[in-house]
Structure 1
Amino acid sequence: MGGSKPNMTDYKEREKEKELIELFQGNPTSNSFERIIRKAKRRTILRNIVISLFVMFFLFITLGFSWLSIMRWSQENAMRDTELFSRITQPNVEELGAQNMGNGLFEGILYFNRYKEVGGIPVHWSDQVITYNLFGGVSRLTGDHSPIQLKDENDGQTRYYDRETKQRMMEFYHPDVTYTYIRNDLMKLNEFPDELLVEIALSFNQKYSPEEVREFIPDDVTLKWYWADTYTNIEMFKETDLETVEGTTVNIPASPELASNVYGFEGMPSDSNPSISEERFINDIETGLSIKEGEYFGEFERIYSYLKGESSTLSTDNVMILGAVVTGTAAELKKLEDLQMIRTSVFGVMADSNK
């Protein structure tokens, strides 16, 4: 009763000690050496497996977080570049912000919901979808993005329509370019109800300062956007003769600029300081110029150099206006018909004020 039971741990330790003594005394028991070697090998293999699994797990976690960080960095840069560039392009187009449509292994997709505002009413406009990749590139989603082209039954000329909304796309005519045909949609306003809300692109007969534009646009017409002069090589937009491979000559007439291809800036509300418009334009260009790794750095650099010209610094005095986007009711816009500064006018989106 007073004795204690043998401890299993002590027993195992004695057995190990016995085997080691026999091993080093050169008198091993049967198979004791082999058992020790096998145990050592098993322990080494298990230890290596555990270490390998731990290293693989650590690398997987590290690579996963690194991938997420790089993709997040690429996404933020893509949003920054797209939103900044949109501020000097896309006349009268508002964005509701970007939504991430998911990431692949090497690229992600951003979706920008967009609309136009006419007379206080939002009018749906085609959404913008771009892709960005792990290495920082930004591009439009692969596919055909060309607008719908239909022959106008009234003048026989081509009109362009947004692919998604089927609304008219505005066109602009440069004052230094001669065209075979120019539109004057202001003269067609009598065909519409007076209360119809209309967006219209105006192209001027010459360059004007932003202040001059604000002075001749009637107060009850909303000045939404200024078309700025950023043309470094206007000759490429003029009529030209092109020689074909066969040796024949083909005449390429001058064509107006679609709204998706022009540069400019948003007009400020009439109750604020209107000169803020061109100040923000200059600020956006300088911001784009400061982001050397940005997707549109080259274009910001070109515009900056052209506007600055021989001046020591870029200021609002360097900004000249070629046209504008205005909105209002058909009745309000009729007041523009007799303005000598307006060379052409082209309809954009329209909306029923009663809906």
Structure 2
Amino acid sequence: MDEYSEDIFDEKKIKKAINKGKRKSFITIVFVSIIVFVLLTIANFAISAYFSQKAFKQWDAYVRLSTPNGYISETVDSRGILGGMSHYKISKDMKIKSIVIEQKQYQFGLNPSVLISRGAGSSIGVTGEDWQLSYKENGWREMLFFHPEVDYKKYKNDEELIESMDGEKIYEVALSFDQPYKPSELPTLQLPEMTWFWLNTYSNTQLNTFKQEAKEYDWSATFIRENEALGFSIRNSYPSASDWAYEYEEFLELLNTSASSEHQKTYNTMKNIGIDDVEILGVIVYGTKDEIVEIMKDPTIKASSLGGITENY
């Protein structure tokens, strides 16, 4: 074989070796890419799941505090890279059954999805001729509370409205007391089996603001909305000391967990107050028309506000 043929042979071998090396490198790159993709996908899923669960606990606590007897009944996550968005339903325990009242969203993770939110519900009474009520998505009215240490120009009283309604339905009514009561000093009302207790969680600054607003603003807009009232339920007509202690500890834990910074501030104040010294400002009761009206006639009831209504079955 002459020198020219050997050069050609060597050149073919070199090209073959180069092509083989390229294929090997390509296969290696593809294999490594697949491994990296799988690892990143698993890591993204784990991180998103962690933040999703953390956000759920925070927002469920927020809902339980801002919606009396409310809770998140269903969530559907939309996950992206290291985060996402959760669509959730808020249900309310109406003593005999739970009902979905609203649907909302929250973001979670290191890279949450863009959240575009549009208002839901409506309000009436914006002219000052009637109470400035707000409504939930399902049409229920948001309840109003009146702090017993604030001198309001006018107090809401829905007794006549409730008396005119169907007596067999279950009504949700917020009742504001004439003065703060400690658990051991509560009026001897025949409360329903499930009652939500409104606690005095307001600072002196907040209370002074309420007083100033009641003095300067129109009566139709001076009150405390239900999402600004904090408390907890007890499913016992005659709650024991252990019932109070247990529910109060759960209440403090919700405050400490909630996504709201205002709830965290309230926790820092309330954690140093024992249940025996907590003040009760009012209640939310559930029952038929006759049951509710009987409670409303008690002289310790300063105001009443109708909320949800559901069938008694």
What TM bracket, shorter-length normalisation? Answer: 0.7 to 0.9
Equivalent in the alignment of 2:91:
114
Q: Does 1:350 align with 2:313?
A: no
1:270 partner amino acid: S
Mapped partners of 2:245, 2:159: distance in 1: 27
Within a 5 Å distance, the mapping from 1:286-301 to structure 2 comes to 286=253, 289=256, 295-296=259-260, 298-301=261-264
Contact 1:307 1:314 survives alignment (8 Å): yes
1:327 aligned partner:
286
Q: Which residue of 2 aligns with 1:226?
A: 197
Q: Distance in 1 between matches of 2:213 and 2:251?
A: 34
**Structure 1 residues 239, 224: CA separation in 2 closer, same or farther (over 3 Å shift)?**
same
1:102 counterpart residue number: 78
- CA offset digits 1:14-67 (Å, max 9, x no partner): xxxxx9xx9xxx897241221222122112211211111111111111111111
- Give the CA deviation at 1:288: 5.1
Match of 1:257 among 215, 224, 228: 224
Give me the whole-angstrom Cα distance separating, in 1, the residues matched to 2:289 and 2:154. Answer: 24
TM-superposed CA distance for 1:149, in Å, is 1.2
Question: Is this contact kept in 2: 1:92–1:325, CA < 8 A?
Answer: no
User: Which residue of structure 1 lines up, in the alignment, with residue 267 of structure 2?
Assistant: 304
Percent pairwise identity = 21
How many positions carry a matched residue from both structures? Answer: 305
User: C-alpha distance in 2, partners of 1:288/1:138?
Assistant: 26
- Mapped partners of 1:176, 1:270: distance in 2: 26
- Pick closer, same or farther for the CA change 1:79–1:343 going to 2, 3 Å: same
Residue by residue over 1:281-333, the C-alpha shift from the partner in whole angstroms, topping out at 9 and shown as x without a partner, is 334424653x6xx734x33431123224xxxx542123211111011111122
> Which stretch of the first structure deviates more once superposed, 258-267 or 188-197?
188-197
* Partners of 1:138 and 1:230 in 2: CA distance: 34
- Residue 140 of structure 2 aligns to a residue whose secondary structure is coil
CA-to-aligned-CA distance 1:214-261 (integer Å, 9 cap, x gap): x52215x344211111112222333459xxxxxxxxx54462122122
Q: CA deviation at 1:175?
A: 1.5
Indicate how the Cα distance of structure 1 residues 304 and 133 shifts in structure 2: closer, same or farther if over 3 A, else same.
Answer: closer
| Distance of 1:172 and 1:84 partners within structure 2 | 21
SS at 1:216 equivalent: coil
Aligned with residue 47 of structure 2, among 67, 70, 74? 70
- Is residue 153 of structure 2 the alignment partner of residue 180 of structure 1? yes
Deviation, 1:99, is 2.7
SS at match of 2:92: strand
Contact 2:84 2:113 in 1 (8 A): no
TM-score, normalising length: structure 2: 0.83
Query: Structure 1 residues 30, 125: CA separation in 2 closer, same or farther (over 3 Å shift)?
Result: closer
2:131 matched to 1:157? yes
- Asked if 2 retains the 8 angstrom alpha-carbon contact of 1:92 and 1:224, the reply is no
Q: Report the residue type matching 1:227 in the other structure.
A: W
* Deviation for aligned residue 1:88: 3.0
Change (3 A) 1:35 1:137: closer
Counterpart code for 2:132: T
Q: Which amino acid aligns with 1:224?
A: T
Match of 2:104 among 116, 129, 141: 129
Check conservation: 1:170, 1:346, Cα contact below 8 A.
yes
Q: CA deviation at 1:352?
A: 3.8
Cα distance in 2 for residues equivalent to 1:137 and 1:344: 43
SS at match of 1:343: strand
2:236 corresponds in structure 1 to: 269
TM-score, structure 1 length as denominator? 0.74
Quote the residue 1:168 is aligned against: 141
Residues 332-341 or 276-285, more deviating: 276-285
* 1:341 alignment partner in structure 2: 300
Cα drift, residue 194 of structure 1: 3.4
Secondary structure at the counterpart of residue 177 of structure 1: coil
Q: What's the counterpart of residue 204 of structure 1?
A: 177
Structure with bigger gyration radius: 1
User: Which residue in 2 is equivalent to 1:244?
Assistant: none
SS at match of 1:238: helix
Query: Is the aligned partner of 1:53 residue 2:53?
Result: no
Question: 1:128-155, CA deviations, whole angstroms, 9 ceiling, x for partnerless residues?
Answer: 422223228799x632335421249xx7
CA RMSD, Structure 1 to Structure 2 (Å):
3.1
Q: 1:222 to 1:177 in 2, by over 3 A?
A: same
Contact 1:202 1:324 in 2 (8 A): yes
